[in-house]
Structure 1
């Protein structure tokens, strides 16, 4: 859901501009693919596989790659980093929560003010497990994980010096988080939400991708993962591992690392893959992805719980999301970045 992307260092300004645009295009396309999976999984579910859950993982591994580039390779100033994160995330989130609280008052997914407060303070993923939740806000758990990870990665970038130490630390934290999830789910019999909504478990998806990104930047990634078809093969293998018969922890122990390799291998991919991701429909979906992510949840709840027709509900998602993007998200981000 992040919209910042690193640029390649190349000899001339025109070449740099071209490289930047190309890279942004297929990363936007990856975002577009991510939100497409979420929307298909929620409104037109495919039996035997949870495409919505998988779409969230596509988002997470992209965040890991971009955060590694921004914080550890570019060494982006932290003050500016957090200002841009706030301007990107918070205005649209605030409007979504307030409008939804008013619009959904009295419905079967009526808001609770405590749940809304936890969404706006990025504590919903734990609060939703422990004491309060609202169906139209349940998707905010993943946004909480991202925001918590931004803070952790920024702190590491400030405190830890030396790329090798950073890679070792992020790798160790990834392994601990994955083990934490597997033990919580298998040994303690905790439910999916009680296990995989938690940042101390789900942070692994982002950190693993960050580790692979840094290994790639240091030219320490094995040649096997630099082939033109790696991203496609790894993604396809991950999709197969997300089918229902595969135990949930395997999704995160095996499938997510494959997705992390896939998103970091896009730079070496064959033109047919980057061309597809860079296509205008995929790139535009990527640009709208955050607003689509915010607004799909209440409409999805009407389909899931009330049996509402999915096509009109999906049309409602796009109507609200496009209004959010062009009226709230984009102008608020531009104004805050220009004046703050």
Structure 2
């Protein structure tokens, strides 16, 4: 999934280089954990829990935290914000979709040009459930939710004044979105995709995390939620609530708020968690996470639908993702940020 660079949330005015690097490390490590859960869930599924779905929520709550800091605390200029989002997201996405159109047309995965267009216009999360789907692009629904969140949060940052008013609005919208999902799933009997691919439902994960971020920054979190083990305990409880026997709406009504709390209290977490996330393997996987996210889907489909061996397919994912990161994503972002 797309990510906002953790370097944006490191204030340059009063921190040392060492502190800045440490903060960047464990946020990238959280991102690495997120994509690791997605890859394990897709290629080596664990009975009793959908780690792929859980990994997406890890991504969303991190995005909520980072967007909360960038847009409401750092007050990053919106023009520059959207330029940087575009430069990070679109070149790699465009290359992936073109490669998928060329490589998957005529294979067992039914590839459709309309689906490709909705992926490139960030409307796949609605078009995919209402109009046209392509299995190799199904993961783009989550990217669409995140892009929509960028726009909504940017508008709120412009229109709503006062930190307290912003938090109240974010919490209200989050609760409405979570209720919307529960009603769609329980009352109207919609399946997971029709209930939880929609931005009007799934944006709750991002908005709620952003609101907790602002509360923490203003020192308005209860003292009970400030201990060194809050992040670890919250994340562990959230994972337990994502077990298959737990009804799907409960995942989003209770587990997601716990994950949002976990990612926003990483700063004060014990060394056991922040140290693990700051390890070089986790940080490197985090840096590659967007390209890994893009390229894992078609190979996952080979495993799920054709019974292909998962290890060679996973190796192919890393090969494509590393090419994407070093040949497309990183140079394109640098060139666009420098020249645009």
Q: TM-score range by the shorter chain?
A: over 0.9
Partner of 1:192: 192
Aligned position for 1:161: 161
Contact in 2 for aligned 1:64/1:209 (Cα 8 Å): yes
Kept in 2, the 8 Å contact 1:205–1:257? The answer is yes
* Match of residue 17 from structure 2: 17
> Cα offset for 1:9?
6.2
Output the aligned Cα RMSD. 0.9
Q: Is the 8 Å Cα contact of residues 10 and 16 (structure 1) preserved in structure 2?
A: no
Aligned match of 2:10? 7
Shift of 1:16: 2.8
User: 1:330 and 2:330 equivalent?
Assistant: yes
**Unmatched tracts of structure 2, length 5 or more:** none
Match of 2:81 in 1: 81
Alpha carbons 2:171, 2:211 under 8 Å: kept: yes
Where does residue 42 of structure 2 map in the other structure?
Answer: 42
Which residue of 1 is the match for residue 284 of structure 2? Answer: 284
Within 5 A, what are the aligned runs for 1:137-286?
A: 137-286=137-286
Q: Secondary structure at the match of 1:219?
A: coil
Aligned to 1:108: 108
SS of the aligned residue for 2:185 comes to helix
Q: Find the aligned partners of 1:130 and 1:274 in 2 and give their Cα distance.
A: 41
Report SS of the residue matched to 2:45. Answer: coil
- The count of corresponding residues between Structure 1 and Structure 2 is 337
- C-alpha separation in 1, matches of 2:73 and 2:296: 34
Structure 1, unaligned runs of 5 or more: none
Q: Which residue does the alignment assign to 1:125? A: 125
Work out the CA distance in 2 between the residues paired with 1:104 and 1:39: 21
Whole-angstrom CA distance in 1 between matches of 2:4 and 2:206: 15
The 10-residue stretch of structure 1 (126-135 or 18-27) with the greater mean CA deviation from structure 2 = 18-27
* SS of alignment partner, residue 146 of structure 1: helix
Give the 5 Å matches for 1:64-79: 64-79=64-79
Deviation string 1:222-273 (CA, Å, 9 cap, x unpaired) is: 1111111111111110111001100000000000000000000100011121
Partners of 1:126 and 1:288 in 2: CA distance:
27
Deviation at 1:4, TM superposition (A): 2.3
Find the aligned partners of 1:171 and 1:105 in 2 and give their Cα distance: 43
CA–CA distance in 2 between the matches of 1:3 and 1:206? 13
CA deviation digits over 1:39-90, x for unaligned, max 9?
A: 0000000001000000000000000000000000000000000000000000
Offset of residue 326 of structure 1: 0.1
Shift of 1:8: 4.1
Preserved contact between residue 4 and residue 63 of structure 2 (Cα < 8 Å): no
CA distance in 1, matches of 2:226, 2:333: 35
Q: Deviations over 1:292-311 (max 9, x none)?
A: 00000000000000000000
State the TM-score, normalizing by the size of structure 2: 0.98
Please give the alpha-carbon distance, in whole angstroms, between the structure 1 residues aligned to 2:151 and 2:4.
Answer: 17
| Distance in 1 separating the partners of 2:5 and 2:282 | 17
